Amino acid sequence: MEFVLSLLLQTALVPVVVSVVVVTTMNRIPRLVTASAAVAPGIAFFAGWAMQEWTTLQPVRYIDWCPYVALALGSIVLAIAAGLPQKMMWPLVVATCIAAAWLLVPNFPRLKPPRPQAIGLVAVTSILFVAATRPIAGRFSPRFLTACLMATGTAASVVLAQSFSLKFAQLMGILTAGLAGNLFYVKRSSDSSFVWMSLVFMPILINLMFIGYAGSPSQVPILCYAILPCAPIMMWTSIFFQREDTPSPKELTVALVAVGVVLLIAVYPAVMAHPPWASE
C-alpha cells in the first residue's frame, strides 16, 4: 500500500497541484490568461518528472529531453501572450516539433522506420495533429476539451503499460495529470486556446507512443499506437451538425461518442493482447 500511495503521489498528485497553482496564478494576470492552458501542463510535467527516482535533470538519454521539450512548447505560448507577434507562432511550433522529434526519437539499432525517416514521421505527425485542432478551437469549453485530452492520455497510458513500457506509461500519466489545472480555466477560450493547450500535449503524446511502439517486445497491434492521437480530432464530427458558436447537446453527445469509440478501438486490442486475467 505504501508503494502504491508513493507512486500515486509521484505520478499524479504533484503535477495536479502544480498545474492548479500555475493556472490559478496566471489567470490573475489578464495578459497571460490564454497562455495558462499550455504553460501549466509544461511546468507540471517538469515537476512530475523531477519527482521520479529514475529520472535526471541532466539529459543523458533521448528520453531525458522530455521535460525540456514540454517547457519549450509551453514557452512558445507564453512568449506569444507576452507580446511576440502572432505570425511567429507557427514557425516556432514547427521548429520545436522538429527539434522534439530529433531529441526524443531513439537511436535503436533496428528502429523501423530508420531514425531519419522516423524523425520526419514523428515531427510531421505532431505538426499536423496540432494544426488539425484549430478548426475545433473555440467551439467547446476548455473543461470539455481538457476532459477529452485527459481521456486520451489515460488511454495512452493503458496502451503503453500493456506494451510493457511502464516508464513511458508513467510519463504519460504525469502529462495527463498536468492538464488537470485547465479544469479551473473557466473563462471562454479564444480561437487559439485549444491549439495552445494541445501544443504541449500532442507532440509529447505522439513521441511517447512512437517510443513505446519502437521499443516494445509486446504483441500490442500497431493500430493501438497510431489511432490514439486521432481521438481529440474526432470532435470534428460535431461540426457537421450545426455551425453555431456554442455546440448543442446533440453536438456534444456526438463528439463524446466519437472520442469514446476511437479510444475503445485503441485500448481494447491492447488489453486483449496481454489480458490481465491470463496470468491468474
- Please give the Cα distance from 151 to 262 (Å, whole number): 11
Intra-chain end-to-end CA distance of the chain, in Å:
21
- Please give the Cα distance from 126 to 132 (Å, whole number): 10
Confidence of residue 239 (pLDDT cuts 50, 70, 90): low
Tens digits of residue pLDDT in 147-169: 889 999 999 999 998 888 888 88
Predicted confidence at residue 171, as pLDDT, reads 93
- Please give the Cα distance from 197 to 131 (Å, whole number): 12
* Burial class of residue 143 in the structure, from the number of CB atoms within 10 Å of its CB (0-12 exposed, 13-18 middle, 19+ buried): middle
Whether the per-residue pLDDT at 5 is higher than 60: the answer is no
* C-alpha distances out from residue 273 to 47, 152, 205, 217, 267, Å: 33, 19, 21, 12, 10
Tens digits of residue pLDDT in 251-277: 788 888 889 999 999 999 988 877 776
- Please give the Cα distance from 161 to 168 (Å, whole number): 8
Tens digits of residue pLDDT in 35-93: 888 899 999 999 999 988 888 999 988 999 999 999 999 898 888 877 788 788 889 88
Q: How many CB atoms lie within 10 A of CB 266?
A: 26
